[in-house]
Chains A and B, each alone.
Chain A
């Protein structure tokens, strides 16, 4: 009964989405206020119906209803409740339902926080979101019904993929989708602006917070996925340039460019058509990513569903949404105008350069991801493109972008004379250069790449400090505190996000430069010294888990004879699927991780687990800075959105016509 209720709710949601996608849009075209007024209630009703459907599916998982095919294929009665709930989005069908739910959630949020939007713009924005939702609901109902029944019902479920039975995997998909789908808001704003022919600074101001929030979620989502790969795949890697990772990374790169381009459009009125294009591209890449992941055109670790009907559907959907928007862009953006001019050296030009670097980086990732497909389609053979390509292309593009991050916040709008920039930045440059020369020796080994990475992060830190100091000195507020408080939170958000990237670069540089990997055969009681630590293997024990059997090793980590940590790496065999899993044990530290994972028993008697084991030991200096940096970037995004001027814009209509002007626009 419950699954049928969910199915019915999805059908109703489709009908409401059709109304939401057509009526307000038509209303905006013929200026019919009543039609446009339908936008808000329709968006809310649709969101609630999808939420009901999602709740029904979650209920079916929680109550082990194995008469639902989706539940029988992706869950098991031994599976703990939290993973049963996470299994709701563990399957192809469920994850698409999650996608639709997120879209509903974002539409709901737009309907709430849009009181000051002109009715025609709001009607168009919500209609465009409704049309996207129609596409996804059709996809769900016609090719991927999550509520399909299994007759006769299975006695037991096939279990959730063990790789997904992990806390990181519980949160990774929802956060990632929050980001992916969040770009639909910026996209809808862009389409609405093209339709209405009104593309100005106000439009940019409305789009900005939505884009920034989506970007922040996407940042955390990607970071969680990478962290998950680090501790579950058992060999210490954190990024693989796998097609599915790339699918999430391309919208992120474009979204980063979009955030910066929106800032220029809001403050200076320039880059307008470019910003619109980025908004379209960011969301289009989210859709392309879905296509790549769901259609099976590329081989990937994530190979989920490979059903040609689904692929065809998404491709047609992609053609309509992306092709339609780009055609609209070609038709309407001609009239947008170019906006103000600026000098060769100015904040605009640094942001433009940053945009170009980010977009080229995105294009190179796209090329690398699709290259095997291109060659295959042209009958030129089948290849796979691996990390060497991406490393060779990506880092040289990102290094200058990171360097520009130091210059951008300090350069003036419109015109930033080089001598002045030099005066303001020479100390930051000196700090960066000296750190790059000295620090690697302190850490153990100097190499050009390590020095470059350290230079870039020290430079970002120093230039950020220079920007803040200049602000405080230039302020006419008396006390330091007042001077600090006078800056907007979007300024601090920007600083925090930039610092986050600096922290991220430290993590990447030091872990690539100084990691130590040792693979050893250890007898019970034997120890091995790795990088100043002593690892002592105390043998393994077997024991049952909730839905698996585990072999747990015990490894004591000592430094200078003192016990630092006892690590317990595991190997698990899951009961239902028989699939093995390696769970590394990690002693997380501020300056680096000690990472131990179990290999295979290698004693004299091969079947015995009581003797010697192959043990993999890693020292990963500063690796957690990678994720800490991502977290800082995301926090910076959230901080920027808390800026007064966005809230002012919301309350302006409600309070008085003479609301105070927002902070001086000169710098943020």
Chain B
């Protein structure tokens, strides 16, 4: 019985090890989303810079757009931000920002600091819309087509590779 007690640390470590082993075989950024191929969940939220004006997904019908979920508290968002800025400068596709579970003041400050790639940002203060979109972690990026159907979802920061291999070709295809 006594020996069991002294083995507790070892047992905990072995469990931890098993998790790390499984974790190693997975990409933390790759998640299948059940939303792909389904209509983008409806929202109508006030805009970050014009709180009096609301933006809803029906306003965006007829064009291909990206929804980028970000927040001022999100460290990984800094990583993808330069890419978003480049993408916005290229004007190939409008990017809408969903400022997720964030204080609008901090959100605005963050954009002023790092640059604002968004055609418009909407504020999801309590994270309701985030839940509808199945946001697991910030940042996330959705590609929505002209009919308002989600065609692609990127979990975690955008990478040059993901942009060039998946997102941009898909956007061009959808814009035809």
Residues of A at the B interface (CB closer than 8 Å) are: 233-235, 240, 242, 273, 277, 280-281, 284, 288, 291, 295-301, 303, 308, 311-312, 315, 318-319, 322-323, 326-327, 329-331, 333-334, 370, 372-374, 376-377, 381-384, 386-387, 517, 519, 579-580, 582, 597, 599-600, 602, 614, 616
The answer to whether A297 and B6 touch (CB under 8 A), given A382-B155, A600-B112, A616-B113, is no
Q: In the complex the two chains form, is B138's CB within 8 Å of A384's CB?
A: yes
Q: In the complex the two chains form, is B75's CB within 8 Å of A242's CB?
A: yes
Chain B residues with CB under 8 A of A387: 73
Stretch at the interface among B24-32, B40-48, B90-98, B142-150: B24-32
The answer to whether A373 and B19 touch (CB under 8 A), given A311-B24, A323-B14, A387-B73, is yes
The answer to whether A330 and B9 touch (CB under 8 A), given A301-B76, A377-B26, is yes
Q: In the complex the two chains form, is A376's CB within 8 Å of B26's CB?
A: yes
Chain B residues with CB under 8 A of A315: 17, 20-21, 24
Chain A residues with CB under 8 A of B26: 297, 376-377
* Minimal beta-carbon separation of B46 from chain A (angstroms): 19
Distance between Cα atoms of A519 and B49 in the complex (Å): 13
Q: In the complex the two chains form, is B28's CB within 8 Å of A299's CB?
A: yes
Chain A residues with CB under 8 A of B74: 386
Q: In the complex the two chains form, is A334's CB within 8 Å of B10's CB?
A: no
Select from chain B the residue with minimum beta-carbon distance to A292.
Answer: B20
Q: In the complex the two chains form, is B7's CB within 8 Å of A297's CB?
A: no
Distance between Cα atoms of A228 and B29 in the complex (Å): 27
From B2, B13, B31, B112, give the contact of A599 (CB < 8 A): B112
Q: In the complex the two chains form, is B23's CB within 8 Å of A519's CB?
A: no
Q: C-beta contact mask, B72-100 vs A, less than 8 Å → 1, else 0? A: 11111011001000000000000000000
Q: In the complex the two chains form, is A370's CB within 8 Å of B75's CB?
A: no
Q: In the complex the two chains form, is B116's CB within 8 Å of A330's CB?
A: no
Select from chain B the residue with minimum beta-carbon distance to A240.
Answer: B75
Distance between Cα atoms of A301 and B3 in the complex (Å): 42
Distance between Cα atoms of A547 and B3 in the complex (Å): 62
Chain A residues with CB under 8 A of B155: 382
Most buried by B among A281, A312, A319, A326: A326
From B3, B21, B113, give the contact of A334 (CB < 8 A): B3
Distance between Cα atoms of A326 and B116 in the complex (Å): 51
- 11 A–B contacts, CB within 8 A, in A order: A233-B78, A295-B24, A301-B79, A311-B24, A315-B24, A333-B6, A373-B19, A373-B23, A377-B26, A599-B115, A600-B112
Q: In the complex the two chains form, is A374's CB within 8 Å of B21's CB?
A: no
Chain B residues with CB under 8 A of A284: 13
* Minimal beta-carbon separation of A489 from chain B (angstroms): 34
* Minimal beta-carbon separation of A377 from chain B (angstroms): 4
Distance between Cα atoms of A383 and B134 in the complex (Å): 10
Q: In the complex the two chains form, is A382's CB within 8 Å of B7's CB?
A: no
The answer to whether A299 and B9 touch (CB under 8 A), given A382-B28, A384-B138, is no
Most buried by A among B6, B105, B138: B6
Chain A residues with CB under 8 A of B112: 519, 599-600, 602, 614, 616
**Apart from A240-B75, A326-B13, A329-B10, 7 more pairs, CB < 8 Å:** A235-B72, A300-B75, A300-B76, A372-B137, A373-B28, A387-B73, A602-B112
Interface presence of B22 (CB below 8 A):
yes
Q: In the complex the two chains form, is A599's CB within 8 Å of B113's CB?
A: yes
Q: Is the interface of B mostly helix, strand, loop or mixed?
A: helix
From B19, B24, B75, B114, give the contact of A301 (CB < 8 A): B75
Distance between Cα atoms of A334 and B105 in the complex (Å): 57
The answer to whether A299 and B76 touch (CB under 8 A), given A322-B13, A323-B13, A580-B82, is yes
Distance between Cα atoms of A334 and B114 in the complex (Å): 57
* Minimal beta-carbon separation of B115 from chain A (angstroms): 5
* Minimal beta-carbon separation of A270 from chain B (angstroms): 17
* Minimal beta-carbon separation of A350 from chain B (angstroms): 24
Chain A residues with CB under 8 A of B9: 277, 280-281, 326, 329-330
Interface presence of B109 (CB below 8 A):
yes
Distance between Cα atoms of A142 and B125 in the complex (Å): 49
Q: In the complex the two chains form, is B113's CB within 8 Å of A382's CB?
A: no
From B22, B138, B156, give the contact of A377 (CB < 8 A): B22
Select from chain B the residue with minimum beta-carbon distance to A518.
Answer: B109
Q: In the complex the two chains form, is A330's CB within 8 Å of B75's CB?
A: no
The answer to whether A323 and B138 touch (CB under 8 A), given A234-B113, A376-B28, is no
Q: In the complex the two chains form, is B23's CB within 8 Å of A297's CB?
A: yes
Chain A residues with CB under 8 A of B16: 288, 370
Interface presence of B151 (CB below 8 A):
no
Select from chain A the residue with minimum beta-carbon distance to B156.
Answer: A299
The answer to whether A600 and B17 touch (CB under 8 A), given A299-B137, A382-B155, is no
Interface presence of B110 (CB below 8 A):
yes
Distance between Cα atoms of A504 and B53 in the complex (Å): 44
Distance between Cα atoms of A299 and B155 in the complex (Å): 11
From A318, A323, A599, give the contact of B10 (CB < 8 A): A323
Q: In the complex the two chains form, is A370's CB within 8 Å of B137's CB?
A: no
Q: In the complex the two chains form, is B116's CB within 8 Å of A600's CB?
A: yes
Q: In the complex the two chains form, is A334's CB within 8 Å of B6's CB?
A: yes
* Minimal beta-carbon separation of A460 from chain B (angstroms): 30
From A297, A331, A382, give the contact of B136 (CB < 8 A): A382
Most buried by B among A284, A295, A384: A384
Distance between Cα atoms of A273 and B75 in the complex (Å): 40
Q: In the complex the two chains form, is B7's CB within 8 Å of A330's CB?
A: yes
The answer to whether A382 and B6 touch (CB under 8 A), given A322-B13, A519-B112, A582-B113, is no
From A311, A322, A384, A614, give the contact of B113 (CB < 8 A): A614
From A280, A291, A599, give the contact of B20 (CB < 8 A): A291
Distance between Cα atoms of A517 and B24 in the complex (Å): 41
Distance between Cα atoms of A579 and B110 in the complex (Å): 18
Distance between Cα atoms of A374 and B116 in the complex (Å): 35
Distance between Cα atoms of A240 and B75 in the complex (Å): 8
Q: C-beta contact mask, B109-140 vs A, less than 8 Å → 1, else 0? A: 11011111000000000000000000011100
Distance between Cα atoms of A318 and B115 in the complex (Å): 42
* Minimal beta-carbon separation of B141 from chain A (angstroms): 14
Q: In the complex the two chains form, is B24's CB within 8 Å of A312's CB?
A: yes
Q: In the complex the two chains form, is B28's CB within 8 Å of A597's CB?
A: no
Q: In the complex the two chains form, is A334's CB within 8 Å of B136's CB?
A: no
In the complex, the 6 A-B pairs of residues with the closest C-beta atoms, listed nearest first: A384-B137, A326-B10, A614-B112, A377-B22, A519-B109, A330-B7
Select from chain A the residue with minimum beta-carbon distance to B31.
Answer: A382
* Minimal beta-carbon separation of B40 from chain A (angstroms): 20
Distance between Cα atoms of A296 and B156 in the complex (Å): 13
From B10, B29, B73, B116, give the contact of A386 (CB < 8 A): B73
* Minimal beta-carbon separation of B73 from chain A (angstroms): 6
Chain A residues with CB under 8 A of B108: 519
